[in-house]
Chains A and B, each alone.
Chain A
Amino acid sequence: GQNIDQPTEMTATEGAIVQINCTYQTSGFNGLFWYQQHAGEAPTFLSYNVLDGLEEKGRFSSFLSRSKGYSYLLLKELQMKDSASYLCAVMDSNYQLIWGAGTKLIIKP
């Protein structure tokens, strides 16, 4: 079966750095996405990786290793507004998105 694993919850301190991991087992691979979802709101797109390596976008970076079935989202200089759930999703061989359950990130002052 297809599976996306990510931690259920993480806690970090304002101003610090946090890394949210995602491992996947899917039927084929056509890219990995990270979305941010604030409580009670819709998910919004953060990043897309299809090739191995690091993609940097401001305070957020996303890394992919296809051979290991592994990705991480790195958030730097954490702000209180970064408190949200972070969803990992993989596009499979049928171009359908398989979603992880999300990681709830709690930022403490």
Chain B
Amino acid sequence: IAGITQAPTSQILAAGRRMTLRCTQDMRHNAMYWYRQDLGLGLRLIHYSNTAGTTGKGEVPDGYSVSRANTDDFPLTLASAVPSQTSVYFCASSDGGTGELFFGEGSRLTVL
């Protein structure tokens, strides 16, 4: 593993189903983030974690939950997917210095 790994890269999901997007980093960064990216909109922060054991809500947290049991992993869960959650999801991490973010390759989620 080098950097940030997200899985799955792509998924089609029926509405109402539960889905977890996985994110793992090997850079030992304290801060991790989940963003969604939709056409014509800027990246929007869903949830973040400044350090293992803590999480916080971003701009668009409704319908999503996260956990941060350790430094490396930061999964994002959709408890009951809805079509408006169709998006590309990016996980990112930061070492807290300048604030530069390192992004995973993204997970494209389609909810039907």
| B41 partner residues in chain A, CB cutoff 8 A | 101
Name B's interface SS.
loop
A1-21 interface code vs B (CB 8 A; 1 in, 0 out): 000100010000000000000
**Residues 59 to 112 of chain B near chain A (Cβ within 8 Å):** 90, 98-106
> How many residues of chain B get a CB closer than 8 Å to chain A's CBs?
17
CA–CA, A33 to B106, complex, Å? 20
B100–A102 touching, CB < 8 Å: no
- The answer to whether the Cβ of B45 comes within 8 Å of any Cβ in the partner chain is yes
The distance from the CB of B33 to the nearest CB of chain A, in whole angstroms, is 8
Specify which of B40, B99, B105, B106 is in contact with A97 (CB 8 Å cutoff).
Answer: B99
- The answer to whether the Cβ of B53 comes within 8 Å of any Cβ in the partner chain is no
The distance from the CB of B17 to the nearest CB of chain A, in whole angstroms, is 25
For the side of the interface on A, what is the size category? 20 to 34
Select the stretch in A37-45, A59-67, A71-79 that faces chain B.
A37-45
**Residues 18 to 67 of chain A near chain B (Cβ within 8 Å):** 30-31, 33, 35, 41-45, 48
12 of the cross-chain contacts (CB-CB < 8 Å) are A4-B42, A33-B99, A42-B90, A42-B103, A42-B106, A43-B43, A45-B101, A48-B99, A48-B100, A96-B45, A97-B101, A101-B40
